[in-house]
Amino acid sequence: MESLGGLLPRTEMIRELHAADVESLRRLLSTVPEATQWSADDFLLASQRNFFVRVAEEERKVCGLVAFRMMADEAEILNLAVDSRVRRRGMGSRLIEDAMAALKAAGIKKIFLEVRESNEAARSFYARMGFTEARRRRDYYREPAEDAFVLVRTVE
Ligand SMILES: CC(C)(COP(=O)(O)OP(=O)(O)OC[C@H]1O[C@@H](n2cnc3c(N)ncnc32)[C@H](O)[C@@H]1OP(=O)(O)O)[C@@H](O)C(=O)NCCC(=O)NCCS
């Protein structure tokens, strides 16, 4: 739907991954250096690896994703990205809330992730989403080498 100069509400949804999204998501990730770069094959293998990928769409255009996996009663966020053109409008928060609802329904108690020390935007974002810094992992990342913070949040 066209927004007609803002007269009509934006159409927005968070939904499961479709095979037709892969190329758009790969292109989106290529513009987000802080995200983990997945190839088309990585996306196609995600379901076999028991990863869950949720896609944000606005005006029928893919503009974000979150990926996570569940292990017993814990989950890990593997990837998160929002198109830079639509940031600071709550899309990242809605992706995390959507994931949280799925995790809660699946009986997950705790969710964690790693983030680069220098990624202050993501660290502020996750702090706002209720994550706390559990520990530092020295030299966790390569190219460039950098420490990671492990962030944790209980699922309520
Ligand atoms: C992190 C990211 C997903 C946030 O997406 P977003 O849609 O802009 O997030 P929201 O609009 O829901 O932001 C919610 C709150 O998080 C915090 N926040 C988000 N971006 C921030 C930034 N750049 N600087 C400081 N705080 C920020 C703010 O408190 C914000 O609320 P506000 O806008 O009312 O101040 C997005 O910046 C992104 O894709 N970054 C690159 C990829 C990345 O770093 N992924 C994580 C790797 S671990």
Q: Over the stretch 31-77, which tens digit does the pLDDT of each residue have? A: 999 999 999 999 988 878 889 999 999 999 999 999 999 999 999 99
Yes or no: say if 32 and 84 are a contact pair by the CB < 8 Å rule: yes
For ligand 1, is residue 116 a contact (CB within 6 Å)?
A: no
Q: Let me know how long the chain is.
A: 156
pLDDT value at position 1? 47
| Span from the CA of 93 to the centroid of ligand 1 (angstroms) | 8
For ligand 1, is residue 69 a contact (CB within 6 Å)?
A: no
Confidence category of residue 91, pLDDT binned at 50, 70, 90 = very high
Q: With a cut of 90, say whether residue 4 has pLDDT above it.
A: no
Average pLDDT over residues 133-146: 94
Comparing CA positions, the residue from 91, 107, 105 lying closest to residue 10 is: 91
Comparing CA positions, the residue from 141, 94, 92, 150 lying closest to residue 121 is: 92
Domain extent, residue 55, equals 4-154
Q: Which CATH number characterizes residue 61's domain?
A: 3.40.630.30
Distance, in Å, from the CA atom of 42 to the CA atom of 117, rounded to the nearest integer, reads 25
Residue 135 token pair: 């520990």
For ligand 1, is residue 124 a contact (CB within 6 Å)?
A: yes
* Tally of structural domains, the chain: 1
Distance, in Å, from the CA atom of 42 to the CA atom of 44, rounded to the nearest integer, reads 5
